[in-house]
Structure 1
Amino acid sequence: MLQHISVKYTVLIFMALCCLFLILLPSCVNNSQKIKSPSVERGVIDLREWSFEKNGSVSLNGEWEFYHGLLKPDDLIRPEIRGIRKYVKVPGMWKDLTLEGGVIPARGENTYRLEIISIAGEKIKNLSIYCIYSAYRIWINGILADEKGMPDATSQAGNNYVFIHNKKFLSFTPVDGVNEIVLQVSNYDYKSGGIYRPLELENKEVTEHNGYIKHTIDMIIVGLLLFFAIYNLLFYFFRRQNTPAFYTGLFCLTLAINIFNLNIRILSGPLSYPENPYLLDYLTVILLVLFVFMTVRSLFPDDFFQPVYYSNIVVSAIIIPMLFFMNFRKAEQLMQFYFILMVIFILYNGYVFLKAIYNRRDDAILLSIGFVSLFTGGINDTLYALWIIETVNIVQYTMVVFCITTTIFVARRYSMEMKKLSNELVEKNISLGKLDRFKDELLANTSHELRTPLHGIIGLSESMLAGTSGRLTPVAMENLLLIASSGHRLSGMVNDLLDMAKMQDEELSLNLRSLDLKVLCESVIKLSLPLTGDKPVEIINSIPQNFPPVHADENRIRQVLHNLIGNAVKFTSKGKIEISASAFPPADEANDKDMVEVRVADTGIGVPEYYRESIFEAYSQIDSGDARSYSGTGLGLAIAKKIIELHGGRISVAPGDECGSVFKFTLPAGPEQNECSSLGTVTESMYEPGGNISAVQFSSISGDYRTEGFDGNPVILAVDDDPINIMVLRNCLESKNCIIKTAADGISALEMIENDRSIELVLLDIMMPVITGYEVCRRIRLKYMPEELPVIMLTAKNMMSDIDAAFEAGANDYIVKPFHISELLARTAAMLKLKKVRKSPAKGISINSRGTICLFTFIDIIYITSSAKNIIIHTADADTELPVMMKDIVHRLPPDIFVRIHKSYIINTGYIRSVDHVISGRYRIRLRDEDDTALPIGPAFLESLRKKIHQ
C-alpha cells in the first residue's frame, strides 16, 4: 500500500515540476533573447546607440509625458501646455497610477507624449500597438497614423469602436534627431483606461518576417489539427462506441477554426457580423472548453461527477445563443463571466485527471501530459495578461499538444481493446478447441456405449438366425432378421455421427484396394432387402459379371451404397431400385486413370430441382418438419459426398427417366487383379492402420468353417466385462466347434493365459475395469510373439487413434462392434491359420501391414531389402513391399536360415550361389534365383558371413 501511494506522489510531483518548467520556459526564452534595452526617462528615449539589427526590438517602457484632456501635437508646443505636463509609467492602467499624490480617474480622456531620439538613415520602423482597451488616436511626427473610435469630451459622442486583440503595426521612417509620438486615449466604458501592454519599436522587415513565420506555423498547426479531426471523426464513424474519438475530433476541428480565424477572419465580407466581429472567437472558446469536458468525461466516466458535466452543457447552451443577439460590449462582459466558469471547469478537469491517476486508470498519465501542457498554457497566458510575467501567448499551441496526446490515447486504447479482444478470441478458440475435442471424445464414448448393447442385439439375433438356439419358425426368423437389420441401421447412424466429426477434423481416411463392385453391391443389397418390408419394391443389381474392379476403400464404398440404397428404399413406395455401372476414359490429360460411374436409380418421389445441390449438405433433408414422413439424421449424403471426393470422384443427383431420381458417383478404376486376394502378397502401401478386412478376403484360408466349423476344436479365450458380449461370442464360436473360455477382466485373462497353454486365440475387449485391453495385449506380447498367440481386439471404439493404439500394443487384428458373424468367423479363421503356420514344419513369418496380415514361409524368402521406411521381401513368385522397417523384423528371422550381409540386405543362406571378390577389400554375393541376383557385402558383415558359410 505504501509503495502504491509513493508511486502516485512521485507522479504528481513530476507533473508539478513539468508544469512549473513550462510556465517559466517562455519567460526564460523571452528574456534570454534580449539584452537590456534603453528606457524612457521623462518622456525621452535615446536610441542612437541601439542596433535594431543586433539587439532586436525596443519596448517603449518608462516615464511618458502625461496630460489631462485630449491634446493634439500642435497643442503640445504651447508653453502653457508644456508647463502642466506630468510623467506616468507606461504600460499601466490609470486606476493603478498616482499623479502628484492623487489617483488618475479611471474614466475620461488623457494624452501621452514620447520623444524618440535617433540618427539619420534608420530603416523603416514598425510601432506595435497591443491591448489599448479604450478608444485612441495616435500621431507620429505630427502625422495621424491610426485611430480607433472618436475620443471626445463625453462618452455619448465617442467610443463607438471594437477592441482589437491582435497587434497593430504602424510604419514610419525615423528622422534625424527627435521623433514625436502623441497618443490620445479616451475611456468611458471599462473600469480603467490606459496603455495595458508596452508599445514596441522594431525594423519593419523584421516584423514582417516574424509575422510570416508565425502565420506559417499557425497554418501548419491548422493543417495538423484538421488531420487529427478527420482521423478521429472517421475513427468514430467506423466505430460508433468510441465516443472519445468523436469529441477529440470536434475539439481539433474547433481549435483549427479558432487559430485560422485569428490569422484570417472567417466572418468577413458577406459573412461579417458587424455587431460583434469576435463572435466566432467567443463561440470557439466556449466549444473548446465543452469538448475538453466531454472528452475527459468519456475517457474517465467513473471518475467524473455527472452534475458538473451537465452544468457545463447547460451553461454553454445558454451563453452561445445569447452571443448572437449581443453587441461587442455586452458580449465581452458576458465572456468575462464565462472566463470565471471556464477556470472552474478546467480546474475540475485537473481534479479528474489526478483522480484517474490515483485510481490507476489505463494511460491516465499519458493523457495527463497533454492536459498539463494545456493547463500550463492557460496559466502562462493568464499571468501574462495580468502582467505578472513577461512571456508570450502559448495556450493555442498547448492545445495542440493536448490534441496529439488525446489522439494517441484514443488510438492506444483502441489498440489495447483490439489486443484484448484478440486475446479473448484466442482463449475462446482454445476453449472451442477443447470443447471440440470433448465433443469428439463424447461422441466416441457415447458411440461405444451405444455399440455395446447394439452388439448384443445384433450378435444374439444373428446367432439365433444361424441356428445356435435350435430350429426357429419362419415368423420368428423374420422378426429376428428385422431386429438384426434395425440394429445395423442404428449402428450406421452412430457411424455417421462419428464420420461427420472426422470430416470436420479432416481425419477421414481411406483403405484403398481393388474391389469387385458387383460382389460388393450384392452384399449391400442382401442387407438392404429387409428394409423394403411389405412394399412392392425390387432391388436389382445390373452390374455385369466381369465388370472391371475399382480402386477404393471397401468399407467406405459399402457405406456409400448403404446410404444411397437405403435412401432409395425409404423414398420409394413401389417399383424398383436399380444399381448399374459403366466405365469411361479420363476426362482430361492431367488425370490418366480410367473412371467408373455407378448409378443408383429409383422410382420414388424424386428430388426437387431447387434441392439437388443442398441435399448433399450436412443435416439437410427434403422433408425436415416435425410431421415429416421419412426419418433420418440428414448426414448420409453429406458423408457419401465427402467419401467420393476423397476417392477423387464426384457425386450428383438427376431426375429419373420417368420418375424418381438417379444418384451418380464416380470412382477410379483398379487393376484387373486384386492384389490382396491371397495371403501371399500385400497391397502397395495404400492401407491405413486399422483397415477392416472383409469376409471375402479370408475366403481362401477359412475352409468350410461356415457349415462344418473349425478343425481341431481350437481353444479361444474371450475377454469382456459385458456378459451379453460374452454370450454373443460363445453362441457364434461354440457352434463352429470352438472351445470358448471367458474372463471378465484383464487380470483374470492374464492368469488364464499363464496357466493354460492350450489357448490358441484371444478375443480381447479394450474398455475393461482394472486394466485396459491395451495393457493386457502389451503384457501378452512380453511372452508371446504375434504368430504364437494371436490377439484380436473387439471394441466399439473406431477412432483412428484407438486403432493405432491397438496395433502398437501388439494386436494382430481389430474388429469394431457391432460386427457381422461372418466377419468374426473370417478373422478368427485367419488367426487360427496363422497359429497353424507357426506350428507347421514350414515355418514362416507374419507381418501386419496396416491392418492386413501377410504370411511368408521362410523357405520361400530369397532375400529382403530395405528402402527408406519400407522393406521388400523377394520370393520366387513376387516382390512384396511392406511399410515396416528392417529393424522391426530382423530379430524374428531364424539365424540358422538368414544372415545379414549389408545394412540394407538380409539373405536366405539356402540361396547362396557364390561369393566373389570384386576389388581390394570388397566382395559380392550371388544368389540362386531367376534374376541371378548380385548383392554387395558390407565390410562390417563380412566376418559373420564367413562363419555362416563355414558352418
Structure 2
Amino acid sequence: MKEFVKHKKKLYIIIPFIVFIIVGAMGINNIFSRKKLKPKAVNGIVDLSEWDLMKDGIIELDGTWEFYWNRLLTPENFKNENNLIKTGVIEFPGTWNGLNVNDHVLTSDGHGTYRLLIKKEEKNDILSLYIPIINCSHKLWVNNNLMSTVGVVGKNKDEIEIQRKENIVNFKDDSENIEIILQISNYDSAFKGGPNGSIILGNYKQIQSYVYKNNAVVWFVFGSLFIMAFYHFGLYLLRRKDKSPLYFGILCLCAALREILYSEVVFYELFPNIDWILKGKGQCLVTELSFLMFLMFIDSIYKEYRKTKIYNAIKYFMIILIIFYLLVPIKILGNTQNIFIFVAMVICFYTFYSVLKAFIHKKEGATIVIIGMSLLFITVTNDFLYNNHIIYTGYYASLGLVSFIFAQSFMLSRKFSKAFNTVEALSEKLISLDKLKDEFLANTTHELRTPLNGIVGISESLLDDSSNLNQHQINNISLIVSSGRRLSKLINDILDFSKLKNKDITLNKKSVDINQIVNVVLEVSNNLIENKKIELISTISEEIPYVFVDENRFEQILYNLIGNAIKNTYEGKIIVSACCNNNMVEISVSDTGIGIPEEKFGQIFKAFEQLEVTGNNKGIGLGLSITKRFIELHGGEIKVKSQLNKGSKFTFTLPVSKEKNAIQILPQNNGALNKINTVINNKHMNSSESKNSNDGEFKILVVDDDLINRQVIINNFSSSKYSIISASDGEEALKKLSKHKDIDLIVLDVMMPKMSGYEVCREIRKKYSLIELPVVLLTASEKTEVIEVGFKVGANDYLFKPVDKAELTARVNTLLELKKSVEQAVTSELCFLQAQIKPHFLFNALNTIMSFCRTNPERARELLLDLSNYLRKSFDFNNKEKFVSLENEMSFVKSYLAIEKARFSKRLNIIYDIEPNLNCLMPPLILQPLVENAVRHGIASKRQGGMVKISAKGQNEFVLIKVEDDGIGIDKERLNSILNKTIEGSVGMKNIIKRLDIIYGYGIDIQTEQDKGTTISLKIPLRKEKFND
C-alpha cells in the first residue's frame, strides 16, 4: 500500500506536468496564430466585413445555414423566396440525423438543400472554396454558377450515384455578397447524412497552401509510422521470442495506412478509381486492428499484470468484430459505430490500468508508456474540442499519435539496448570466469600430478613386496593403484583440453605411413555403418610419401571426417584418396551423402554448430571444429566442396616427411644408428632362430613393423618357458604361421603396412578358433570403436602402447593357460568318447563276419579289415592330432557303415555325396557318432529299414556337411534336450555339440519330422592355400 501511495504521488506530478506543457503549447500557438475570433454563420448569413482574408487568413464557413428538407433547390428557386418554405436552420458542418421536422425525426437517408449568404465589403480577384467529403453526393452553386458536382444527387436511392471525395473550386469575386447553395443526397451511406467537415473560404494561394500543408502532414505521419513499422519488424526478426515488436510494428503499419485512408485528397490521388465501399471498410479495418494490436502490445510487455479473462474477452470480441465488419454491408457499419467506440474505450481503460500497475511496480519503460498515452489522450481530446468549436487550437491528433509511437519505439529500443549491454557485460564476465576456470584447471592438475604419482608409486612398491600383506590388503592396494592411474589419465585429458583451447598443445610428430593409418581407421569405421549400404574405399597409392604428423592426432582427424561422412550418408561410397602437391600431401574424404548448402560452409567448422539438414542432431558439433584446429596445428588447411543431395568432399593438407619411416628420424649420428640397427638385427635373428628350439613350453609369434617395438616385446618374454618367432608385416606372419603349426599365441600390432593387424587377424580366424590360437592386438589408440573392431575380427585381448611388461606377460599367460586347460578338457572328453564302444556292436559285428566266413570268405575278409580300421581309430588314445582331414574322418565313417550294411543288408541304403578336393580339417570323432545315431535311432527302429545319406559341399568359406536319414525322426521333447545339452545317456551328441561350440563358436543344426526322418548339419571352415606356402 505504501508503494502504491508513493507512486501515486509521482503520477500526480508527472501527468499534470505533461498536461500543463501540452496545453500551454497549444494555447500559445492559438494566441500567436490568431488575433481575433472567426465570425460564424447565423441563420444562414455570415458577415465577413471585418475579416481580411489577406491578413487574417482563411475562414471556415461554420455556423447555422438555412435548410430545406426533402427539396433539391437551385439558384432559380431562390429568385422568388416568398414561394419557399424554409425547414429551419441547421448546424454546419453537422448531420441532419435526429432533426425534428413536422414531428418526424430524420434518419441518415434523405435529401435536402443548404443555403448561406456571405456579406463582405472588399472584392477580390479570385476566391477559392475547399469542399470536404459530403455524404454521399452533392451539387454546389456559387452566385448562380454550378461549381462542384460529386456523384449524382437524387430524390431516392435509385436516382443517386454515390461518390466521396474532396474538391476545390475557384470563382471570380465580382459582387459584394456571395451566395452558396448546396444540394445533398444520402441514401446508401453507412454514415450520417450531411457534411462531415467545414467548407473553407480563402484566396487561391491560401487554399492551395492549406491543402498542401494537410497533405504534407499526412505524408510525414505516414512515412514516420511506416518506417517505425518496419524498424520494429526488424527487431522482431532479430529476436522472435519477444512478440512485442511484432505487435507494435503492426500497430504502426495500421496507423500509417489509417492516415492515408482518412485523407481523401491523398488517397484519391493515389487510387482515383477505387470503390468507396472498399475504402470505407479499409478505414474500419485498420482502426479496429490498431486498437487490437495496441491491446496485445501492452499485454506482451506487461503480461504479469494481465487480467486473463478480461484480456481474452476483449481480444476475441475485437477479432469477431473485425470479421463482422468485413462481412456485413457498409451501411450497417455506421449503425454499429457505438459498439466499437465502447470497446475502444474499454481497451483504453484496460491498457491504462495495466501500465499503471507496471509503473507502480517500477516496471521498466512504464513511465515512458504513460507519457506517450497521455500525449495521445490530450491531443485527441483537443481535436474533439476544436472540432466542436469549443477551443480554437487546431488539429493535433496526428502529431500526438506520432509522439506516442516514438515514445513506445524509444521504450523498445531502450529495452533492446539494455538487453545488449547486459549480454555484453555477461559475456565479459563469462570470458573472465572461463579464463579463471582454465587457469584453475591447469594449476590444480599440475598440483595434483606430483602427489598422485607418489601415491601410485608407493602403492606399487607395496605390491612388489607383498609377503607381509594378506589378500584383503593386497586387493585394497591394487584398487588404490587402479584408481590412481584412472585419475592420472583424467588429469592428462584436462591438461590436453586446456592446452588445445589455449593453443598450447604438444604434438609428437614423426613420419607416418598414410596407408597404415587409413586402413585401420576404415576398418574401425566399418563398425559405424550399421545397416546402411555404404562402402568404405581407400584409393591411396603405396607410393604416396609419408607425412610428418602426430600419429594419434592424425587418426583423430580421419575418425572425425569419416565418421561425419557416415553419419550423413545413407547409401553409396565413402572414398579416401591422397595425392602429393609440392611439400604437402592432400588427403580427401568424399561421400555420396546429403551434401551441405554452400552458405553453410563457414558455419560447419565453428564449435557447437550443427546443420539441421536431416534433423540428425547427434553430437554437439565439435568434431569438425577440432579437426580444423588439429590440421592447422600441423601447418595444413582444410576446405570443403559440396552439392546438396550429391555429396561432400573434405580436403586437408599435411606436410610431407623428409624421412621414410619412424626409424629414420632417430638421432642423426649415423655410426650410432648403424650400431643400434646391427644389435637389434642380431637379436632379431637370434629370436627368430629360437623357433628351432624346443626348450620353451609355449611358442609365441610377435608381429610388428617397427623393429624397436618388436625387440622390446621380445625382450619382455625373457623367460625360458617362451620360444619366440618374429615377423615384420602381416604377409610374413601368415607364412610363418603356415610353416610352424605349433604356435600357441600371436602378439600382433594393428598399424602395419600392406596388411593391417585387423586383416591378419581375420585371415587367422579363417583357420584357427579363438581357443586354438589366441591373438593379442597392440594399438596406440584407446578409442572404444578400435577395441570393438578388434574383438569382432577375432582378437582375444587388447594392449595399449607403450606396453607395460607386467600387463603383457600377465595377459599372455592367462590366455595360454586357458588354452591349455580347454585342450586338456576336450582331449579327456574325446578319450572318454572313444571308450564308449558298445559291447553289443562288437558282438553283432563278429556274428555278421562269422556268417560270411561260410558263404563269402572274401566278403568276410573285407569286413574284418573295416572292423580293424574302425577299432584302430576308436582306440587311438595317444592320438594328439587336434584336427583330422575330412578324408580321414570319412574313412572311419565308411568302415562303420560297411559293417552295419553287412548286418542290415537291404534294410540299410547308404548314399555318399562328397565334393572332391575339399581342403578341410575338422575335429576327430564328429561324423561317426552322428552317422551311428542315424542308423541306430533312425533306421534300425523301422521294420522296412531306410536310407542314410552323407554329403559334403563347399559353401563360400565353409564346408557344409549333412547327415540325413528317412527314419522315425526325433520327438520334440528329446530334440529340445539335445539342443539344450541336457539329454542323458547321449555322451557322443553332447560331446560333439560342446567341442564345436568351443572351437568354432557354434554347434549343429537339427531338422526333424516325425516318421519322415532327420537332417543334421554342421559347418567346417575351409583351409586357405596361403597357409600352405
Normalising by the residue count of structure 1, what TM-score does the alignment of the two structures yield?
0.48
Tell me which protein shows more helix as a share of its residues. Answer: 2
If asked which structure has higher relative contact order (CA below 8 Å, sep 6+), I would say: 1
